Amino acid sequence: MRRYVIAGNWKMNLGPKKAVELIEAIKEEIKGKETAGCDIVCCVPAVDIAVVAAACEGTPIKVGAENVHWAEKGAFTGELSADMLLEAGAEYVIIGHSERRQYFGETDLTVNARVKAALAGGLKVILCVGELLNERELDITAEVVAKQTKVALKDITPEQMANVIIAYEPVWAIGTGRTATSAQADEVCGIIRNVLCGLYGENIAEATTIQYGGSMNAGNAAELLSMDNVDGGLIGGASLKAPDFATIIAAAQ
């Protein structure tokens, strides 16, 4: 059956020194505790990947990047390829985060190009989808997440889906302290699972990890994670606090 995945998104926080300090604090928090019930990932700024990967060696913590370019190499100043991220020590990559869509012109088509390149290059993908507040108010959440999911996964094969995690992140809940209710999170994760069922069939839909993200924290994680269709969390702010991140990991056991 599908795995729970608890992933931190550190965003544009912490240079290499502070990044290693946070990893050491997380290691200390989870030492001697049960962690086998979920995969643990820290998605970190690109400049931190190598030192964080070294600090995570021999621990259950895996390392992810926060974006990847679609080309293998070339004249793309400031960008990073899947190969480069892998070589630095990343195993996962977040693609299509709403902050990339909102501030950096990311579209469903560029998300699809990145997903294809990441999977072809050997990275595991955390694909973010989610509606804006006005889209929820217009009652078109299902259509929005279905379109984002379908376009992002265009040309992705059933075999490649083993390396895809989907993060349902309502944009109105990210960094706002306003969390979706567990019923809302479960409903939309279920809608996404139905979309996967239409694209790939029931077995793959049931095997795919679908996370909730949006102000998940130490206080609300247990309830969100108890929902049938919620298989983990993508966590921003609370992933920067070692005790809170460890509490969320504990809630996923």
What residues numbered 198-217 form the site for ligand PEP, per CB under 6 A?
A: 213-216
User: Is 97 one of the annotated active-site residues of the chain?
Assistant: yes
Picking from 63, 52, 62, the residue whose alpha carbon sits closest to that of residue 24 is: 52
What is the DSSP-derived secondary structure letter of residue 180? P
Q: Does 237 bind ligand PEP (CB under 6 A)?
A: yes
Q: Which of 4, 5, 9, 66 binds ligand PEP (CB under 6 A)?
A: 9
The nearer residue to ligand PEP, 118 or 234, going by C-beta atoms, is: 234
Rg (CA), the chain: 17
Minimum Å distance from CB 186 to ligand PEP?
17
Which phi and psi (to 5°) does residue 229 adopt? -95, 0
CB of 40 to ligand PEP, least distance (A): 16
CA separation, residue 170 to residues 132, 176, 203 (Å): 7, 11, 26
Q: Determine contact, residues 47/80, Cβ cutoff 8 Å.
A: no
What is the nearest approach in angstroms of ligand PEP to the Cβ of residue 87?
Answer: 25
**Pair 193, 184: CB distance under 8 Å:** no
If the CB atoms of residues 204 and 222 are measured against ligand PEP, the closer one turns out to be 222
Q: How far is the CB of 52 from ligand PEP (least distance, A)?
A: 17
Could you give the CA distance from residue 8 to residue 148 in angstroms, rounded to a whole number?
22
Please say if 28 is a catalytic residue. no
Cα gap 49→138, rounded to integer Å:
40
Closest-approach residue to ligand PEP (CB)? 236
Between 64 and 236, whose beta carbon lies closer to ligand PEP? 236
Selected binder of ligand PEP within 236, 241, 244, 246 (CB under 6 A): 236
State the minimum distance, in angstroms, from the CB of residue 213 to ligand PEP: 4
What is the Cα–Cα distance from 166 to 232, expressed in whole angstroms? 10
- Is residue 235 a contact point for ligand PEP (CB under 6 A)? yes
The single residue of 91, 97, 131, 135 carrying the catalytic annotation is 97
What phi, psi does 37 have (nearest 5°)? -75, -5
Report whether 86 contacts 46 (CB < 8 A).
Answer: no
Q: Which residues belong to the active site?
A: 97, 169
Binding site for ligand PEP (CB under 6 A): 9, 169, 174-175, 213-216, 234-238
